[in-house]
Amino acid sequence: MNYKNVFSANSVNYTLAAKYLRQGKLVSFPTETVYGLGADACNGEAVATIFATKNRPNFNPLIVHVPDLETAENYVFLDETSRRLAEKFWPGPFTLVLPRKEDCPLSPLVSAGLDTVAIRVPRHHMARELLQTFGGAIAAPSANKSGRVSPTTAEHVAREFTPEEVPLILDGGPCEEGLESTIVQVSGQEVLLLRPGTVTPREIELVAGLPVRLVKNADNPVAPGQLKSHYAPRARLRLNATHAEPGEALLAFGRAVPKDGVITRNLSPNGSLTEAAASLFSLMRELDELGIARIAVMPIPMQGLGLAINDRLERAAAPRPDEEEA
Ligand code: TXA
Ligand code: MG
């Protein structure tokens, strides 16, 4: 294999990979399921770069990888059942959706603005070594462009991304399983299976002592009506606004912002789409928490990450399910 961004497993390369992650760059690494496209999960702009690099036209929440259960507890709250499942299936191809802790330092973009995080401890020795060396949490979807199949070799990843996009791919040979992890969420007296994988419903039931229910298309919310798995602001949004009308707050973008005393939050004063993506969910939340009822949103260019930002804003501006008949 002759790709300039494919690196073998040795301590020098783990150190380099961890350094790139700290710099906000993307690193691809093998797991037992598929190759991941990783970024520092606490760095919003790095996480935004994942979406830009995958050409994702929307923001799906991502899976956060941690070295062990103890580290997971820095970020999320584990109920008793989830803890039993984690103790049984971690490390391994098993992801738990759990509530974020109050002071959770993970970027809101990894959760697509939700109050929950999908988190797992991978079993692959290279993923584990990288997590140990980095010493933090790594957000990583499968390392493929949007709409393509998940990669199971370093060469698949190298064919998909240039060294400018992904400067380092750790080569661990072919993945053992080749199928993405099982995703579950404990909810009351049942376990919701959000994505089937190699950990089976029967195995989960035995450990949880609760029935497992498959939730169809949970990992693919397509229509605005399926907003449940996304953060929907309470405030009403008016898009492509040049200024705020009376009673509206302004969600601005870029330098040319009207200075007329209205409550204003700027997605990116420099007009950076990466910065705007990183701040989108936290600013929508901030305006909600101020009790703002209506938000005027300035235009966001329809290019690169602008597609995903506009997709999210259009969903937020669409009629709410309880209003649709009106
Ligand atoms: O096997 C795997 O899990 C691979 C390797 C790289 O670890 N990763 C992976 O990540 O498949 P990703 O980001 O492509 O999977 C994300 C899926 C989304 O489709 C989403 O539906 C679900 O996980 N998800 C993430 N966060 C969620 C949340 N807070 N609530 C519900 N579902 C969530
Ligand atoms: Mg994928």
Binding pocket residue ranges, ligand 1, CB within 6 Å: 31, 33-34, 36, 60-63, 93, 95, 97, 111, 114, 116-118, 140-142, 180-181, 183, 194, 218-219, 229
Pocket probe mutation, ligand 1, options 62, 148, 192, 281, max atoms within 8 Å of Cβ? 62
Per the structure block, which two tokens stand in for 96? 């738990």
238 is annotated as contributing to ligand binding: no
Q: Quick one: CA dihedral 155, 160, 164, 169, positive or negative?
A: negative
Atom of ligand 1 nearest to the CA of 218: 21
Measured between alpha carbons, how far is 141 from 152 in angstroms, rounded to an integer?
A: 13
DSSP of 254-296: SS----SSS-EEES-TT--HHHHHHHHHHHHHHHHHTT--EEE
Pairwise pLDDT comparison (24 vs 227), residue with the higher score? 24
Tell me: ipTM over 0.90.
yes
Residue 223 has pLDDT above 50, yes or no: no
- Which ligand has the shortest distance to the CA of 37? 1
* 296-302 mean pLDDT: 96
Residue 85 C-alpha to ligand 1 middle, in angstroms? 17
DSSP character for 180? Answer: P
Residue ranges and CATH numbers for the domains of the chain are 6-220 (3.90.870.10), 227-323 (3.40.50.11030)
Measured between alpha carbons, how far is 326 from 238 in angstroms, rounded to an integer?
A: 18
Residue 90 has pLDDT above 90, yes or no: yes
Residue 273 has pLDDT above 60, yes or no: yes
- Beginning with the edge strand found earlier in the chain, give each strand of the sheet holding 264-266 in spatial order: 236-238, 294-297, 248-252, 264-266
Atom of ligand 1 nearest to the CA of 122: 7
Atom of ligand 1 nearest to the CA of 116: 29
Pairwise pLDDT comparison (323 vs 19), residue with the higher score? 19
Helix, strand, coil percent values for the chain (each to nearest 5): 30, 20, 50
- Whole-structure pTM value: 0.91
What is residue 217's predicted lDDT score, i.e. its pLDDT? 67
A 10 A CB-CB count for 192 gives 16
Residue 227 has pLDDT above 50, yes or no: no
What is residue 324's predicted lDDT score, i.e. its pLDDT? 47
Residue 309 has pLDDT above 70, yes or no: yes
Find tokens 């080569």 and name the residue: 171
What is residue 216's predicted lDDT score, i.e. its pLDDT? 79
Q: What is the pLDDT of residues 92-140, one digit of tens each?
A: 999 999 999 999 999 999 999 999 999 999 999 999 999 999 999 999 9
